[in-house]
Structure 1
Amino acid sequence: MDRHIRTVEDVLRLLDGLFAPEDDRWTGEAASWWDGFYADRGRPVPFFVAKPDENLVSYLARGLITPGRALDLGCGPGRNALHLASLGFEVDAVDLSPAAVAWAGERAREAGAEIRFRCGDAFAPDTALDGPYDLVHDSGCFHHLPPHRRISYLALLDRVLAPGGHLALTCFAAGAMGSELPDRDFYRRSGLHGGLAYTPESLRRIFSGLTQIELRRMHDEPPESPSFGEPFLWTALFRRPVRP
């Protein structure tokens, strides 16, 4: 007999267990899944390129965000972390996959960039993230979370995002990429089905505690562009209010 539920975290971990390992890309067996994903660096994966997201480049060029302390969630091979570091940000970067973190570290050493890489679950209590951060950047982590882990995501922002700080988010756009199942159906079917699609309205509702600065589709960048861009993604910039 198993009667171990007594905290919200216990409930969240119980719900984690409802997802099939082959579909669970963010916890449990996820490190192994993503290690396999990153094992072949020559695969034609769009975001394996060594260049930053076009929306991040745009935010910086327009002065919507300025250098400070940054956290790159789900940093992958480190392309956006490297760009932030090159412009004077003090960068922490975290990813579940040791293979991704190793690749990102190699890129950072080649570029002479000082980035603090951490391998682990950013939402786990034992993963030390030393906020506050002026920028939390997420290019592709959010849409791989099961619905109940949005609670963990928002709690992380509440804990580490500085007042006046920004969340820069890139995620699957409904109608273009990702599953459009209702939240409850992910539990009935036990899987994430490749990732969750979002509408602008759902993003505004989820991040209603933040102020929207910009929300648009990512620009389609050609291969020769110095920036990465795929139109099946939403890009959003939110700001945490400064309260007395």
Structure 2
Amino acid sequence: MQRTVRTIDDVMTLLDGLSASPEGDWWDRFYADRSHEVPFFVAKPDENLVSLVERGLLPPGRALDVGCGPGRNALFLARNGFQVDAVDLSATAIRWAVERAEGLDIRFRHGDAFETEGSYDLIYDSGCFHHLPPHRRVGYLALLDRALAPGGHFGLTCFTDEEGTSVPDAELYRTGLAGGVGYTPDELRWIFQDLTEVELRRMTEEPPDSPRFGKSFLWTALFTRRVQ
């Protein structure tokens, strides 16, 4: 009988199956329909990201957009002077993003963001982290440790504990992610304790005609990496 686990990668794959988290083909099906009624999927950058740039808290530099989807935040960053690398598990989303990014300084890549190499002044994640099962936080933190430059910023938008599944980690392997993991502010501070908090707040609810996306069921956070 063939055993399942021999390496750390085997452990991760086994736990992926137990957690039933969305994979690339699920997101391909999601992004295949371009008639989404909610326009933030394509056109609107996050209100918190716009606010951070307008307040001068995120000066232009090299940025990584993790789980970029059709590129709504990547396009905003590039239009504001950033050199952007943007990664997503969905090839369909990446093709859509490339169509919309002509002339902008963005390098889109279909693949696993955890495999990204390089040094970034900004790593931004809108909606990727809360879809990760608990064991994949290890690789996420390793990415930040490897790729976030000293003095660089990490921006995050994720489910509150009111919106996502909010149970002990062990329970997630019994129930599945059920749409995403919800966090409290203290949990986010604990997970990202190696970074310095700049701000952590509820996202501002934006009206339908706003040029920015904002939903109050999300946390927005900005952390910075200490300069050694």
TM-score tier after normalising by the smaller chain length: over 0.9
Q: Between 39-48 and 87-96, report the one with greater CA deviation.
A: 39-48
Of the three residues 194, 198, 223, the one matched with 2:179 is: 194
- The answer for the alignment partner of 2:127 in structure 1 is 140
Per-residue deviation at 1:31?
1.4
Per-residue deviation at 1:137?
0.3
Q: Does 1:86 align with 2:79?
A: yes
Provide the rounded CA distance (Å) in 2 between the counterparts of 1:7 and 1:179.
Answer: 30
Of the three residues 173, 191, 215, the one matched with 2:160 is: 173
Counterpart of 1:97 in structure 2: which amino acid?
S
Counterpart of 1:187 in structure 2: which amino acid?
Y
Q: Deviations over 1:166-193 (max 9, x none)?
A: 1000000112x1111221011123x211
* Unaligned residue ranges in structure 1 (runs of 5+): none
- The answer for the alignment partner of 2:97 in structure 1 is 104
The residue correspondences of 1:1-244 to structure 2 (distance < 5 A) are 1-3=1-3, 5-20=5-20, 24-25=21-22, 30-45=23-38, 47-109=40-102, 112-123=103-114, 127=115, 129-175=116-162, 177-189=163-175, 191-243=176-228
Provide the rounded CA distance (Å) in 1 between the counterparts of 2:195 and 2:161.
Answer: 22
User: Which TM-score applies when normalising by structure 1?
Assistant: 0.90
List structure 1 runs of 4+ shifted beyond 6 angstroms: none
Q: Contact 2:42 / 2:71 at 8 angstroms: preserved in 1? A: no
Query: What value does the CA root-mean-square deviation take over the aligned residues?
Result: 1.3
* Unaligned residue ranges in structure 2 (runs of 5+): none
Provide the rounded CA distance (Å) in 2 between the counterparts of 1:122 and 1:203.
Answer: 20
Q: Deviations over 1:75-108 (max 9, x none)?
A: 0010100010011111000000011001111110
Provide the rounded CA distance (Å) in 1 between the counterparts of 2:81 and 2:172.
Answer: 41
Per-residue deviation at 1:6?
4.3
User: Which TM-score applies when normalising by structure 2?
Assistant: 0.96
Counterpart of 1:57 in structure 2: which amino acid?
V
Per-residue deviation at 1:47?
2.8
Provide the rounded CA distance (Å) in 1 between the counterparts of 2:177 and 2:124.
Answer: 22
Counterpart of 1:181 in structure 2: which amino acid?
V
Q: Contact 1:41 / 1:48 at 8 angstroms: preserved in 2? A: no
Provide the rounded CA distance (Å) in 2 between the counterparts of 1:46 and 1:236.
Answer: 23
Per-residue deviation at 1:3?
3.9
Per-residue deviation at 1:14?
2.0
Aligned length: 228
Percent identity reads 66
Q: Contact 1:131 / 1:162 at 8 angstroms: preserved in 2? A: no
